[in-house]
């Protein structure tokens, strides 16, 4: 089946409309967890290019490969500077003034039309129909940033990805940045699809069923399409082949996992019946004026026989996740009855991994500092902060191994070759 049809069907449901909330493609988790985590990982590398271009009085050129409805544009242009003074209001890392060209290409006309409606009339921003597996646009190139987002490269066979990366390496600027985004091979969402070594080129039958309410999923006619599942080792292998083909070294700057327990299919259970509906609960944490039953955040990880290394990681991460939630419940239940004993809390956290220790102490301080403020501080301050603490825990403990919904590689073309 053509990969255009499922996305066009998704657009027709109205769930691809740019909005935030408890459901839909652009739910709270997408906007405030997944997008923000990606920005935080990318920011130092994007900043380095921005600083270089600014010093040279040059404008930045970005190619968004498989741009869809303009999600990559939202993500990159929504990136902020790190050291933001409290008095500042203009904090964009990439501002419109220094942008020379943002070109997005995709094969789906419906998504491209939505991208154009999002950005309006702007001579610096263009979205064009095109198949990037048949070559990249050369008239406007070379580009400073070659960007893919949310599993774009999982639409490819490995040979296509190797050729794409080699094409970029042959034609890019010196020290251009390349962002590659795949689906992780070992996401807990699709534990049923885990395979052992040697790793075959594995595609899952992916269904965009998550945009439908649970009561409609069973009867909805949901199209599916193949998406490549990838690990860190496989990405490195593809990069080595592309470097050899291009005759130019492609350097790996970072590889990170995104959405370990909050991915799209964690709630559908289509590829792992043991998944708890964690995305639904985290969406509630971030929703204004909504209180959440925090016990719904507790994860009972179900190991899979024959995958000791993965089970060890997921079991340890779930223990840290659960410990943070339980401490938060304790702080909330004790609030106002007795003052928090900072020394006692620090002693109890003494043997925790540093990311967990930091998160627990953060939640204790937030609850103590905001609990007596007017308004529903639990719904509007404490619960969102718990979501951000869980997000930071994920970011600090992930290993870039392919254990999340997304696996993102930050690459740089070696300027010496």
Judge if 368 and 288 occupy the same domain.
yes
114 in the same domain as 30: yes
What are 207-265's pLDDT values in tens digits?
998 888 888 887 888 888 999 999 999 999 999 999 999 999 999 999 999 999 999 99
Closest CA to 75 of 171, 181, 210: 181
Give the position of tokens 């419940």.
329
Q: Per the structure, how many domains does the chain have?
A: 2
Distance of alpha carbon 99 from alpha carbon 241, whole angstroms: 32
Do 407 and 390 fall into the same domain?
A: no
Whether 85 maps to a domain, the answer reads: yes
Q: pTM of the full predicted structure?
A: 0.91
Q: How many residues does the chain have?
A: 417
Task: Specify whether the CB–CB gap between 202 and 154 falls below 8 A.
Answer: no
Q: β-pairing, 224-230 with 177-184?
A: parallel
* Residue 207 placed within a domain: yes
272: in domain: no
Per residue in 248-263, pLDDT (tens digit) is 999 999 999 999 999 9
In a domain, 266, yes or no: no
290 and 256 inside one domain: no
Is the pLDDT score of 15 beyond 70? no
Residue 273 lies in a domain: no
CATH number, domain at 122? Answer: 3.40.50.150
Domain that holds residue 234: 4-260+401-413
157-180 per-residue burial string, b: 16 or more CB within 10 A, e: under 16: eeeebbbbbbbbbebbbeebbbbb
Same domain, yes or no: 393 and 405: no
Judge whether 28 lies within some domain: yes
- For residue 187 the two structure tokens come to 């996401």
- Per the domain annotation, does 368 fall within a domain? yes
Output the average pLDDT for the chain. Answer: 91
Q: What is the mean pLDDT of residues 122-132?
A: 90
Residues 212 and 298 in one domain: no
Q: Are residues 131 and 202 in the same domain?
A: yes
**Are residues 72 and 178 located together in one domain of the fold?**
yes
Say what angle helices 354-370 and 383-397 make with each other, to 10 degrees. 170
Q: Are residues 191 and 295 in the same domain?
A: no
- Is 343's pLDDT higher than 90? no
Q: In this predicted model, what pLDDT tens digit does every residue of 162-171 receive, in sequence order?
A: 999 999 999 8
If asked whether residues 29 and 165 sit together in one domain, one would say yes
Residues 97 and 218 in one domain: yes
Residues 107 and 204 in one domain: yes
Query: Is residue 267 included in any domain, yes or no?
Result: no
The string of pLDDT tens digits covering residues 27-86 is 999 999 999 999 999 999 999 999 999 999 999 999 999 999 999 999 999 999 887 776
> In angstroms, rounded to a whole number, what is the distance separating the alpha carbons of residues 167 and 249?
12
Q: 46-80 in b/e burial notation, b at 16+ Cβ within 10 A?
A: beebbeebeeeeeebbbbbbbbbbbbbbbbbbebe
Predicted pLDDT at 71: 93
Q: Taking CA 376 as the corner, what is the angle to CA 371 and CA 380, rounded to the nearest 5 degrees?
A: 90
């Amino acid at each position: 089946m053509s990969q255009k049809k499922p996305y066009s069907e998704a657009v027709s449901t109205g769930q691809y409309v740019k909005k935030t909330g408890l459901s839909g493609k652009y739910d709270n988790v997408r906007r405030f967890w997944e997008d923000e985590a990606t920005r935080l990982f990318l920011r130092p590398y994007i900043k380095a290019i921005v600083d270089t271009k600014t010093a040279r009085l040059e404008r930045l050129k970005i190619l968004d490969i498989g741009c869809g409805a303009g999600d990559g544009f939202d993500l990159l242009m929504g990136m902020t500077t790190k050291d933001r003074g409290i008095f500042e209001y203009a904090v964009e890392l990439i501002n419109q003034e220094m942008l020379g060209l943002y070109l997005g290409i995709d094969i789906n006309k419906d998504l491209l039309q939505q991208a154009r409606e999002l950005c309006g009339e702007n001579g610096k921003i263009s979205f064009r129909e095109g198949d990037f597996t048949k070559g990249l646009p050369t008239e406007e190139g070379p580009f400073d940033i070659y960007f893919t987002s949310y599993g774009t490269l999982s639409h490819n066979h490995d040979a296509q990805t190797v050729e794409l990366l080699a094409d970029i390496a042959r034609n890019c600027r010196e020290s251009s940045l390349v962002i590659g985004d795949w689906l992780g091979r070992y996401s807990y969402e699709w534990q049923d699809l885990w395979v052992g070594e040697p790793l075959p080129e594995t595609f899952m039958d992916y269904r965009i069923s998550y945009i439908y309410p649970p009561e409609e999923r069973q009867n909805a006619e949901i199209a599916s399409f193949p998406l490549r599942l990838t690990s860190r080792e496989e990405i490195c292998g593809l990069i080595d082949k592309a470097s050899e083909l291009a005759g130019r070294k492609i350097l790996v700057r970072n590889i990170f996992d995104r959405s370990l327990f909050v991915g799209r299919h964690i709630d559908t259970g289509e590829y792992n019946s043991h998944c708890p509906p964690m995305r639904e609960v985290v969406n509630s944490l971030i929703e204004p004026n909504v209180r959440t039953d925090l016990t719904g955040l507790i994860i009972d990880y179900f190991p899979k026989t024959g995958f000791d290394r993965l089970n060890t990681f997921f079991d340890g991460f779930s223990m840290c996740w659960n410990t943070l939630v339980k401490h938060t419940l304790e702080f909330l239940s004790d609030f106002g009855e007795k003052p928090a004993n900072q020394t006692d809390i620090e002693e109890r956290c003494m043997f925790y991994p540093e990311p967990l220790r930091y998160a627990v102490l953060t939640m204790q301080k937030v609850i103590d500092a905001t609990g007596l403020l007017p308004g529903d501080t639990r719904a509007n301050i404490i619960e969102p902060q718990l979501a951000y603490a869980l997000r930071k825990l994920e970011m600090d403990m992930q290993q870039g191994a392919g254990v999340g919904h997304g696996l993102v590689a930050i690459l740089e073309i070696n300027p010496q070759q």
